[in-house]
Structures are given as C-alpha cells and as structure tokens.
Amino acid sequence: MPRAHRLDDQIGRLREAVPLRAKSLIVTIYGDSILPHGGSTWLGSLIRLVAPLGLSERMVRTAVFRLTRDAWLRPQPVGRRSYYSLTTEGLRRFERAHQRIYAIDQPPWDGGWLLVFTNAMPLDPDAREALRRDLLWQGFGNVAPSVLAHPGVAEDSLRQTLDAHGVADRVVVLRGEGHPLTDPAARVALVKSCWDLNTLGADYGRFLDRFRPVWRALEVVGSACTPEQAFLVRTLLIHDYRRVLLRDPLLPVEVLPPDWPGLAARRLCRSIYRATGALAEQHIMARLDTVDGPLPPASALFHARFGGVMEEVSAP
C-alpha cells in the first residue's frame, strides 16, 4: 500500500470516530485556521475548504447563520459575496479558548488554592448561577455550596471574570495553602469529589487511542504527506482535542492521579500539530480568500502555539 494511502485510511477512520457537527467544526476551523490570519474569510472559500470533511454547502451555510445569530460571526456583503469575520464577543471567546488549547506546559504549582465565596453578600440568583457556570468552565470546582476553588488558576483571569460579571464587590476571594497535616490521600479524595476526573481521563484515553496510529502513519508517510492531508489531520486533531480539553480543569500535576493521560494527550497533540502545521498552512492559504484578496500571513501568536512549534509560511 502506498504510504500516502495509509494516512488517507487514518483520516477516514478519524472522520468516522470524531464527532463532526457542522457548527462545532466551523468554530474549530475559525479558531485554528482563520483567526491567525485576521479572522475573516469569504463564505464560498470556507465551503470549499471544509468539503473534504464531509460538510455540504447547505450544512456550512446553516452553521454560519447560527454562529451569526449567536454573536460569534458578523457578515460583510461585498457585491454577490458574503465575508464573515469574528465579532468582538466571538474574538473574546476564542482568545480564552486559545489560552487553554495552545498553552505551553503549566508552571510548577506553588501549593496555593484560590477560593471564591459567592454567598458573602446578597447576589441575584441568576447572576450567581452565571458566575458559577463561568468559573466551572474555567476549571473551578465546587468544594461546598456557594464555594468554588482551584489550585492553579491565574489571579488575573479570575479578576477579569469577576469584572466581566460585575460582581467583584459582591464576592469574597481568599488564597489558601496546603498544610502538612493533610494526608496526600485525603487531598486526592478531595480533588476527585470536586472534579469528575474519571470521565475526563477516559476521554483522554480515547483521544490517545485515536491519534497514536495517526502519529505513526505520519512518521511512515514523511515528505509524501500532502497539504490537504496535513490540514485534515490538524483540523481533526484540534477539533477532538479541544472537545476534551475545554472540560479539563487543568489542575496541577501534584493533585492529579498518577499517570494522568491528559499529559500524554498534550504531548501527542503538540507532536502532530508540529508535524502537520506548515503543510496545513499552505493548504489554508491556498484555499481561503478575504475581502482584500489572499489571506495575510499568520500572526506571531500563531507561531507561539504549544510553546513555539510553527515555522512561518508564505502566501502561495
């Protein structure tokens, strides 16, 4: 079997194994492929780009319509063409996700915990619930009614969240530290009671099972990998990885179970992204158009993904 065909087989297997709902997949492509080049593209070229992933023109148009309705995208009609770019709110959402997906390895844990008390002062129930959902998305866990905690989140990020919800003067934030009297087993039990690590670990395990054969196929195919194959692998990789990662509280290694599969998943994702990144960029820049012509070069932030794994790609 030709080497390139082995990679095609792996891509076909991924398309069957990875959930590919149109709206979610378009979000992945905007975040991974379009945002680094300015965040705007012609709808017709987007339809052409995603066709090999099994999305029809109608599916793409419906997904883009819904993303526009949900304030992710805004249209810019130019003649008979429609270009779609990120809204301010859409950009904010992508930037928050970008920090989680493409970040370098976490810094060593200092042993501290941030605790947020939402019942210290009167707070509208809807506002309290909105804050709670946002903090849970950022990885906080419920340690008690109206008390959320995280052992590694940045204080700047928490401050921005409280300000965004307008509740910075209505909650109490404390910083605590572990104590030698706490048995490590008790700390692990606390973590397991606040975060569903069993389900998350199983999802990471399935991610590894799906993409380890892809990594081996990429090693075999070598320079025979085409730009389109690289784009398909990179897109399916990030689409599946973000689906798991955005539910990961990103706890410090010190409080995670031994042999936590999330660490292996990040290493594998970084390796595959590095192997496919430059070729995938060639494909993206050859397929997508903006209102001003070809895509501009990718931003410096793009080249810093996963701690700096990308080489600059010129327009074809």
The pLDDT > 70 percentage for the chain reads 96
Give CA separation, 164 vs 73, 127, 135, in Å.
21, 11, 12
Which two structure tokens, joined as six digits, stand for 132? 């709670």
Averaged pLDDT, 238-260: 91
Q: Residues 309, 250: contact at Cβ < 8 Å? A: no
What's the rounded mean pLDDT across residues 281-302? 92
Question: Domains in the chain, start-ordered, CATH in brackets?
Answer: 112-177 (3.30.70.240)
Whether residue 309 is predicted with pLDDT greater than 70 in this model: the reply is: no
Q: What is the mean pLDDT of the chain?
A: 90
Burial (Cβ within 10 Å: 0-12, 13-18, ≥19) of residue 99? exposed
**Averaged pLDDT for residues 259-268:** 94
Q: What is the mean pLDDT of residues 16-30?
A: 94
241 vs 307: which has the higher pLDDT = 241
pLDDT at position 316 is: 37
Q: Radius of gyration over alpha carbons of the chain, in Å?
A: 21
Q: How many residues does the chain have?
A: 316
Instruction: Work out the end-to-end distance of the chain between its first and last CA atoms, rounded to an integer number of angstroms.
Output: 31
Q: What is the pLDDT of residue 11?
A: 95
- The answer, yes or no, to whether residue 314 has pLDDT greater than 80, is no
Q: Name, in order, each residue with C-beta under 8 angstroms of 86's C-beta and a sequence gap of 6 or more.
A: 30, 35, 39, 40, 72, 73, 74, 94
pLDDT at 311 over 70: no
**Backbone φ, ψ for residue 95 (5° rounding):** -65, -40
**What CA–CA distance (Å, rounded) separates 125 from 290?**
44
The model's pTM: 0.89
Burial letters for 146-156: b for 16+ Cβ neighbours within 10 Å, e otherwise? ebbbbbbbeee
pLDDT of residue 51: 96
Tell me, what's the pLDDT at 185? 83
Please compute the mean of the pLDDT values over residues 176-202 and round it to a whole number. 89
pLDDT at 4: 55
Mean pLDDT value of segment 253-273: 92
Alpha-carbon distance 135 to 146, whole Å?
Answer: 12
Residues 219 and 202: their CA atoms lie apart, in Å, by 26
Quick check: 48 and 91 in contact, CB under 8 A?
no
Residue 3, pLDDT score: 57
Q: For 57-115, write each residue's pLDDT tens digit.
A: 999 999 999 999 999 999 999 999 999 999 998 998 888 888 889 987 777 888 889 99
Q: Which range is most confident: 19-23, 203-207, 253-257? A: 203-207
Tell me the pLDDT tens digit for each residue of 105-145.
Answer: 777 888 889 999 998 888 888 999 999 999 998 899 999 88
Q: What is the pLDDT of residue 310?
A: 58
pLDDT single digits (tens) 138-188: 899 999 889 999 998 778 888 989 998 999 999 999 998 888 888 888 888
